[in-house]
Chain A
């Protein structure tokens, strides 16, 4: 990702090299991150099977998957600032896992909307995409997320070349704002929750703008 490339600190050097954590500890930390990302899905699945999704379970399922997708996208965007501010450059290695989990949640969100909510009524889906701005934006964000997920492997970075790969992955700065707008537009009256996400996003993007000017 572009952030990593331009990081104002050595990505694998400096202090990190001096006291590199043990392989076992590294794996444990990675497992913890993986489990943390999967936990909301496991919890949702458990609630679904025990009939604990409330009075309108389909709505709860679709919304929860969407909200977790958005949260993980924001966590993904928070990694680079966190790595720089905390001087923990190796945090960046979690970006791919978190991004792919975000993609998984967003995909399930879309799938549950099409398969469970609309029950594969593709005519209605098409009408929704054309007529409902919040669905138009959500679909646009998903479509852009697909190539990022596909090219997330090391092989693709090499095949595309670092620069082109970074340019493609710059799309995340379009996708996440679209995701927040998607949420904002579906809310009936209480806009506070989507505005909280918008605020966090503004800070994460603002930090990047600030850094670009500050390190010039």
Chain B
């Protein structure tokens, strides 16, 4: 399959020489991490990674990133996930990648962490509610995972699903959304080099409330597109249903690109409050990533495909 996009590898993408020279240590390090993971402990473990494409803005403090979350599987208040997500057992954990591909496969999370080149990506995150953060994720491009299963020409969209386990995700006992949480991307969005599978935050494994053990990060879309605690990724030939769109189709579209010119029906999207700042700041088209992603939507009416 031929995927056209602009040359996307920059100097930032080159593995740091120091890290390259220490690659054996790196492997030992992640193996150790895998063994630590056997205990099923939720405690954060350090990750080895290189520096990837990042904003130079100041990252939001870790305490804020890990205590102000929308993760309705653990409760609807922003403080609920930090309080309740500890219950979730993130080991053993597998991700099924299937659908329109030649080599569908079930990946073990530790094998995924070990088998992919991890990099730190400091991205802006803009929530549809009008607040934003700057988050230092650690992860690998989703395109690497998709390439591993050899997609066929029928793979036009990618559908994602969160774990369904009401005994640990107690928010799932009540249908505030249609569980399990589902999200989707068009294939060209999914294989875009900015689209990340995050397994870490601030250099350590992802805290449960942020979507452990692995989550999607699509920095030019509203935060709810970045689905957490993924167990299934399917390559499909038509646009898949998505959780917030099912809940309120007029308010949350499939695309949900950050767009200050298209308001949420009930509130303005022109400005946002960066967590930790007093004054609101202007929201940027595609959350400031237009230079890299605007081409994906050339010719589309973004008021219609919101």
| Residues on A with beta carbons closer than 8 Å to the beta carbon of B78 | 54-56
Cα A101 to Cα B263 in complex, Å, equals 35
| Residues on B with beta carbons closer than 8 Å to the beta carbon of A119 | 278-280
* Contact A131:B67 (CB < 8 A) given known A55-B275, A124-B268, A189-B76: no
- Assess whether A16 is interfacial by the CB under 8 Å rule: no
B266, A189: Cβ atoms closer than 8 Å: no
* Contact A56:B266 (CB < 8 A) given known A189-B176, A189-B177, A190-B176: no
| Residues on A with beta carbons closer than 8 Å to the beta carbon of B57 | none
| Residues on B with beta carbons closer than 8 Å to the beta carbon of A55 | 64, 67-68, 78, 275
- Assess whether B72 is interfacial by the CB under 8 Å rule: yes
- B interface residues, how many (CB within 8 angstroms): 24
- Assess whether B131 is interfacial by the CB under 8 Å rule: yes
- Assess whether A167 is interfacial by the CB under 8 Å rule: no
Task: Classify chain A: how many residues form its interface, as a range.
Answer: 20 to 34
| Residues on B with beta carbons closer than 8 Å to the beta carbon of A54 | 67-68, 78-79
B73 to chain A, nearest CB (A): 13
- Assess whether A133 is interfacial by the CB under 8 Å rule: yes
| Residues on B with beta carbons closer than 8 Å to the beta carbon of A17 | none
Cα A147 to Cα B76 in complex, Å, equals 37
- Assess whether B16 is interfacial by the CB under 8 Å rule: no
Residues from 76 to 92 in B contacting A, C-beta threshold 8 Å = 76, 78-79
| Residues on A with beta carbons closer than 8 Å to the beta carbon of B129 | 188
- Assess whether B247 is interfacial by the CB under 8 Å rule: yes
A120 to chain B, nearest CB (A): 11
A132, B68: Cβ atoms closer than 8 Å: no
Q: Which residues of B contact A (CB under 8 A)?
A: 64, 67-68, 72, 76, 78-79, 129, 131, 176-177, 247-248, 263, 266-268, 270-271, 273, 275, 278-280
Q: Which residues of A contact B (CB under 8 A)?
A: 54-56, 58-59, 117-119, 124, 127-128, 131-134, 185-186, 188-190
Beyond A127-B268, A131-B268: 18 further Cβ-contacts under 8 Å?
A54-B78, A54-B79, A55-B68, A55-B78, A56-B275, A58-B273, A58-B278, A117-B280, A119-B279, A124-B268, A124-B270, A128-B268, A132-B267, A133-B266, A134-B266, A186-B267, A189-B72, A189-B247
